[in-house]
Structure 1
Amino acid sequence: MNQTRSLRFLQHWAKLMDSQFRIPGTQIRFGLDPLIGLIPGAGDFSSFAVSAVMVMVLAQNGASGFVLARMILNVVIDALIGSIPFIGDIFDFAFKANQRNMRLMMEHYEEGRHKGGAWKVVVPVLLVLLVFVALLVWVSYRILVWIWGLIQ
């Protein structure tokens, strides 16, 4: 897949995850991310996985280490706060990490700082983040089980 097609593909996914739908009669837009996030554990992990793949493709298409660090920070914030039951679901409607990352990448291209990939930075960070998000999902699950036990 060439670079232009890759970026258009990612723009499509960013829109689908963050702003594909609009609440009728308002300017409030949302995507699949907050909807998927309603599924305890699996939803947050799925959203993280999509964001991680997007960051990896952007790295492959030449994002600098600085831009990638900012993108990864967006994904971390989305994963951390998004994993908090109820509060995270509301947060997912507003934060839109994937669109933030696409905006960063497009600004990066427009400024002409396209210098090649940054895999040495991204892959280890994403692996650590993956383990961290999996741990957050597990902790969220255990909290929900504990709350369910209290209710019964």
Structure 2
Amino acid sequence: MRRELPGLGSDPASVRQRIEGMEQILERMFVVPGINKPVGLDVILSLIPGVGTISAAALGSYIAWEARNLGMSKWQVARMAGNIGFDMLLGAIPVIGAIPDFFFRSNTRNLRIVRKHLDKKHPGSRTLDVQATPGA
């Protein structure tokens, strides 16, 4: 009997856990003081001309790759690829590309697409979304 570490399996719950973790790293790694907005590696990499934008797109493509392995439709994966491509175009604008990248969060959009699929096709993979509620 082979034992797998939590989150490293190919089951839908493990895939969800990996995708949610990647989205958090890319879009919500820390909160910027003063504006109280989450920022992740995607925006930071957009500040590096050329290679940063390509790196961010490659990391974001991991979510689409996992979605494809889940058996999501070609249409859903194409939508995700479109989000990644659009985000890459925005981020390609030298220096100021980080500003639109800050608002268009392709990885969060792609996570929503995957969650919708998983909630419909694999409801047992659902996790509690525990986020701090403002004012609580």
> Which of the residues 10, 21, 24 maps onto 1:2?
10
1:91 alignment partner AA: P
> Which of the residues 13, 19, 23 maps onto 2:28?
19
**Counterparts of 1:26 and 1:83 in 2: how far apart (Å)?**
24
**Counterparts of 1:20 and 1:27 in 2: how far apart (Å)?**
13
1:80 alignment partner AA: L
| Residues paired across the two proteins, number | 114
Structure with the bigger percentage of helix? 1
Q: Deviations over 1:54-85 (max 9, x none)?
A: 21111101211121111111001101111111
Tell me which stretches of 4 or more aligned residues in structure 1 moved more than 3 Å.
Answer: none
Name 1:142's counterpart in structure 2: none
Match runs of 1:40-51 below 5 Å: 40-51=49-60
Tell me the TM-score normalised to structure 1 length: 0.68
**Counterparts of 2:98 and 2:76 in 1: how far apart (Å)?**
26
Match runs of 1:112-131 below 5 Å: 112=121
* Contact 1:67 1:108 (C-alpha < 8 Å) held by counterparts: no
Higher relative CO (Cα under 8 Å, sequence separation at least 6) belongs to 1
The two structures, once aligned, show a CA RMSD in angstroms of 1.8
Tell me the TM-score normalised to structure 2 length: 0.76
Gaps of 5+ in 2: 1-8, 123-136
Gaps of 5+ in 1: 114-152
